Amino acid sequence: MSNPAVPDRVIKPQPGVQVALADLLALRANVRQLKLASRGRVLATRTGGHLSRFRGRGMEFDESRVYQAGDDPRNMDWRVTARAGVPHIKLFREERERPIWVFVDQGANMRFGTRRAFKSVVAAQAAALIAWRAIDDADRVGCFVFNEHHAFYQRPAARSRGLMPLLNALTSLNERATSAGYASPDAAARELVKLVRPGSLVFLFSDFTDCAVDTSSWLGPMVWHSEVVMVDVVDPIEINPPPAGQYPVTDGTRTLVLDFAQRGLREAYLKRYQQHCERMADFSRRFGVHRLTLRTDDNIVSALATRLHSRATSSRTR
């Protein structure tokens, strides 16, 4: 994927509908409330000033050398051994910070909201907060931001080299000339799996409406070597339909009317969210990931801080 081109003209974001770069930059003042706590004991040493559970080696290949007595045979470099005719092993260089990936769904389903903001805006704000916290912890940040038309990714990098590509993508993805987008979180996540290195901490921000437990084969490989947190973004109307009546909804072009006077429609809404909760719970149980829920009417800073604290607490009791 190529880096996005700068748009020719700047359109002032509509509060709650789009996010402004200035607003995401201002979120840094709130990151002290957040803790990216560990889920277990340290399996590798890092300089980031935190404890992290690393599944897998979490190291980067450095070079090969001739095998010596006492070397771990699991690190044999079979290609060099075959070429040189002498046993060689692989040497690995430890990564100095924990890679943190921020995966952000900005697709059509996310551009919806009935309260403070669209789900896409809540996801963007929460992702920015996670990134700011990671930078303050001296971790490296990578991102994968996508909608149905465009996608942008950046491998984990330190400080502003990791942060600014994410913030820029969140604020202007729709206007950028990037590679083709993805029709669903499942499709995008399959690409993410190819990028995530062992020992990473991965935050997935989406409403996961197009994810199916039976077909989401990407989660298994990812959670085997990394910690995964699914942040489920929902709107209050999805949880509890409004009182009986007619409610106009628009996508900016078309306007439709939801007739909640119809009993069948209200029951369908309630059943749909119940099924969604069951599906997300199945995700969590089956793949061993932690699920956080954010609402569009939440105070994003306090809500995310509370959910992250709950995650840390439940992890310590496992």
Helix, coil or strand: residue 8:
coil
Compute φ and ψ for 8, nearest 5 degrees. Answer: -70, -35
Q: Determine how many CB atoms are found less than 10 A away from the CB of residue 115.
A: 14
| Distance (Å, whole) CA 290 – CA 310 | 10
The predicted structure's pLDDT at residue 130? 96
In total, the chain counts a number of residues equal to 318
Q: Tokens for 284, please give them.
A: 């969590």
Question: Tell me, what DSSP letter sits at residue 18?
Answer: B
The per-residue b/e assignment along 52-77, b for 16 or more CB within 10 angstroms, e otherwise, is bbbbebbbeeeebeebeeebeeeebb
Q: Give dist(CA 27, CA 129) in Å, integer.
A: 6
User: What are 194's two structure tokens?
Assistant: 């190819």
What DSSP line would sit under 78-133, residue for residue? Answer: HHHHHHHSS-EEEEEEE-SS-EEEEEEE-SGGGS--SSSS-HHHHHHHHHHHHHHH
pLDDT of residue 106: 93
For residue 77, what are the CA distances in angstroms to 83, 225, 288?
Answer: 10, 21, 32
Q: Which residues contact 82 (CB under 8 A, 6 or more apart)?
A: none
How confident is the model at residue 37, as a pLDDT? 61
Domains of the chain (ranges plus CATH)?
Answer: 21-40+96-316 (3.40.50.410), 60-94 (no CATH)
CA distances from 274 to 2, 45, 113, 279 (A): 40, 42, 19, 9
Residue 34 has which token pair?
Answer: 């957040």
What pLDDT does 54 receive?
A: 39
Predicted TM-score of the model (pTM)? 0.76
Write out pLDDT tens, residues 145-188.
Answer: 999 888 999 999 988 999 999 999 999 874 454 567 888 888 89
| pLDDT less than 50: residues of the chain | 1-10, 39-58, 174-175, 177, 316-318
Q: Decide: 141 and 153 in contact? Cβ < 8 Å.
A: no
Contact in structure between 187 and 38 (CB atoms under 8 Å) = no
Report the 10 Å Cβ neighbour count for 203: 22
Find tokens 């913030």 and name the residue. 167
pLDDT score for 310: 74
- pLDDT of res. 230: 93
pLDDT of residue 181: 80
